[in-house]
Amino acid sequence: MSPPIRFDSAEFAENDAEEIWREGIDAIFEIQRPKDPPAPFRAKMESWALGGMLLMSHVVGGDVEFQRTRRRIATSGIDHYLVHCLLDGTLMSTFGRDTQQVPLGSVVMRDLVVENIGFTRDAPMLTLTIPRQAIDRRTGGALRMHGLSWDPTDPIGVLIASHMRTLASVATAMDDEQALVAGEATLDFIAACVLRRAERWAESGDPRLTPVIRAQALSYIEGNLADTSLGPARLREILKVSRTALYELFEPMGGVAEYVRARRLDEAMRRLESPLHARDLIGAIASAVGFMSESTFNRVFKERFGCTPTEARGRRAGGVFTGFGVTATGNGAGHPDDARGVGAMTAAKIRDLRA
């Protein structure tokens, strides 16, 4: 298999090491660390590609907040599940009004379309990063998986944790075919465990409500955001489903209108942050994603992101909310020059995952 991607902060100057580490994590989260941490920055990461998913062993010292914000959800281009196995230290998460303290040795799932804030303190863990469709096509989708967990006394949790540890211990020795087999088997195993534990959003007996139809609906929406007629009637016509079936298909997402509006706003944010659209007028961007009124666009954009489109573009131009540049060249002890790109390589691996 491809060589694992490894990072050890001890091999770099402290400031360079943190920049490289941030660039890898920045693909998913906005990071907050204390301004004056009591100890020097230290972190290690190692990741292996296993077919269509990524296994990562990682730890960062001290206190860290990992924020999956609405802005990051809109602009990251990542739609994955995370499966964490906590090996030591402290891990907790807040989402909505809920706070989840993760017991040592337990396994917990995160859905990256859910806004949440994770907090770690000296917490080595193993993480599987899995594209949404890889799980959904095995389970039928429409499952509430964010926050799903197995504690250390749960036999299924023990099996998942043991399996993840075993994968990490043998991944480097696998060839490409073995990595693919291990990845597919792991996905089947995780999906089977999820089906026994997760709550499914209620659906009718309409046989057309399948993952295939769901994927077709989402794909059609993505390709037609500029169409001002995009809505329930148009989708029923395209998908050949009943009003009730369409409602139940989109009920987990807040309904058709809410989902379409959210995707339009997310695409607008992506364009505002993209250098390719730096010269586009804000009104042109609003029109390109299906808003007929610029004033309406400005209002709902601020409701979703907490800033105006002009402010969002200005923050990008000022260097806020962008990725972190990598300038490290190692500690002078024969460290290869391309090691400074390990953060970017990790981020690219995460973004490129496909079911």
Cα separation, 2 vs 101, whole angstroms: 35
Domain ranges within the chain, ordered by starting residue: 5-200+323-352, 211-317
Cα separation, 270 vs 355, whole angstroms: 23
Report the share of the chain in percent with pLDDT over 90. 54
Contacts for 262 with CB less than 8 Å, ≥ 6 apart: 253, 254, 304
Q: Give the pLDDT confidence score for residue 330 in this predicted structure.
A: 40
Per CATH, the architecture of 211-317 is what?
Orthogonal Bundle (1.10)
Q: Give the pLDDT confidence score for residue 292 in this predicted structure.
A: 94
Per CATH, the architecture of 5-200+323-352 is what?
Sandwich (2.60)
Q: Give the pLDDT confidence score for residue 334 in this predicted structure.
A: 35
Helix (H) or strand (E) segment spanning residue 197: helix 176-197
Rounded mean pLDDT of the chain? Answer: 85
For residue 96, what are its two tokens?
Answer: 């909505």
pLDDT above 80: residue 216: no
Asked if 353 contacts 82 with a C-beta cutoff of 8 angstroms, the reply is no
Rounded to the nearest 10 degrees, the angle between the axes of helix 132-139 and helix 176-197 is 60
Asked if 239 contacts 213 with a C-beta cutoff of 8 angstroms, the reply is yes
For residue 202, what are its two tokens?
Answer: 């209620």
For 285-321, write each residue's pLDDT tens digit: 999 999 999 999 999 999 998 899 999 888 765 544 3
Of residues 183 and 248, more confidently modeled: 183
For 113-170, write each residue's pLDDT tens digit: 888 999 999 999 999 999 988 888 888 776 788 899 999 999 999 999 999 999 999 9
Give me the residues paired with residue 86 across strands: 125
pTM: 0.73
For residue 293, what are its two tokens?
Answer: 């009124």
Q: Give the pLDDT confidence score for residue 201 in this predicted structure.
A: 53
Q: Give the pLDDT confidence score for residue 170 in this predicted structure.
A: 97
Q: Give the pLDDT confidence score for residue 319 in this predicted structure.
A: 45
